[in-house]
Every structure is written in structure tokens, then in C-alpha cells.
Amino acid sequence: MKLAVIVDSKTGNTKQAAEWIAEGMNKVGSVEAKAFTIHDIDEEFVKEAKGIVVGSPSYAALMTPDLHEWLLSSAGGLGFAGKLGGAFATEQFTHGGGETVIQSILTVEMVNGMLCYSGGGACGMPVIHLGPVGVNNNVEKHNGMELYKDNFIVYGERFAKKAAEIF
Ligand SMILES: Cc1cc2nc3c(=O)[nH]c(=O)nc-3n(C[C@H](O)[C@H](O)[C@H](O)COP(=O)(O)O)c2cc1C
């Protein structure tokens, strides 16, 4: 079963998180997960995928305009409808809007007919409510993407297990 992680990423943080999510997905037997940016999509792979997780940097607490435009123009053609959907974000401030970025992505996914899943509180620790958020160390020197690596990996594994259960 194919699973895709798709991001917009200008400086690499969100792409890194996407690769960690795909790493977690690939821990589940029979799953082949790949991470893409919106500029290097393998369209056939994404069409065949049973689940898609979309990620964005926080831009004023929303997804990037490029990702939004890409979703509006591409989600239909790539067959998002009926697939399992998830979302995640990166940001440079602890309170930089990552959760609202995730909400904005999940809204588009649901409008396109996806079945959205995060694991929520049902999977125990680490509890991930809407999706994982990573805070980089651009500004907050005590922070850094590596601190969130395990959360992204475990989120990917949970998402893949649910996709395998459903499909
Ligand atoms: C135009 C712009 C707006 C941003 N707005 C926010 C913001 O509202 N909150 C925040 O925490 N970080 C904000 N950032 C920082 C990015 O979200 C953060 O550095 C992110 O990890 C970058 O992801 P990338 O490396 O994948 O491009 C902004 C960056 C840019 C360029």
C-alpha cells in the first residue's frame, strides 16, 4: 500500500519533517511511503496512494499561499477523495500557529472528501491532537526540529497502521 507525504518547504524544515513521517510509515509492513514537495510530485504514486499527509510551514498561522494554491488546483486531479488524510506543520515560535495551519489543511482535505485522522488521544503518549508540529531553532535557540523527530515518526506509524486497517 502506497502512502504519500506532500509539503511546501522553502528552507527545508517541513521537508525534513515529511521524511520523518515517511520513515514512521515505512515501519508498517506492506507500506511504501514517499515524501514529496509540491514541486517534485510523482503524480502516479500519489494517485495510487491510499493515504496522504500534507504539511506546511506556518505563514501568519496559516498554510503557505503556494500550498493553498496547489491544493486548490491539484487535489481533485490526484484523487484525494476517499483517501485517508492527515496534516502537520512547522513553525519558528512555540506559539507560532502550527495548530491553525493544520486545521486549515484538514479543512481543505475534508472539502475534497478525505477521511481525516490524527490518532488524537486514542493512541496514548505522545498524545498528538490534530497533527504533529515541529518548532525550529531560527529564533528560539532552545528549540529545534530534532526535538520533534520522534513525534513525527510515531505519527507516521500510527497513520500507516490506520490506513492498513481501513484499506
Ligand atoms: C512569510 C513567512 C511567514 C511566517 N510566519 C510564521 C508564523 O506566523 N509563525 C511562526 O512560528 N513562524 C512563521 N514563519 C517561519 C516558518 O514557518 C518556519 O521557519 C518554518 O519552519 C519554515 O519551514 P520550511 O523550512 O519548510 O520552509 C514564517 C516564515 C515566512 C517566510
Computed over every residue of the chain, the mean pLDDT equals: 98
The CATH number fitting domain 2-160, selected from 3.30.1490.480, 3.40.50.11540, 3.40.50.300, 3.40.50.360:
3.40.50.360
Torsion sign (Cα): 105, 82, 42, 20: positive
Question: Where exactly are the structural domains of the chain?
Answer: 2-160
Nearest residue (by CA) to ligand 1, atom 7, is 60
Residue 82's pLDDT is 97
**Does ligand 1 come within 6 angstroms of the Cβ of 100?**
no
Nearest residue (by CA) to ligand 1, atom 8, is 60
The per-residue pLDDT for range 70-110, each reduced to its tens digit, is: 999 999 999 999 999 999 999 999 999 999 999 999 999 99
* C-alpha closest to that of 159 among 122, 106, 130, 118: 118
**Does ligand 1 come within 6 angstroms of the Cβ of 9?**
yes
Q: Is the pTM of this model over 0.95?
A: yes
Is the bond into 126 cis (omega within 30 degrees of 0)? yes
The per-residue pLDDT for range 41-57, each reduced to its tens digit, is: 999 999 999 999 999 99
Nearest residue (by CA) to ligand 1, atom 9, is 96
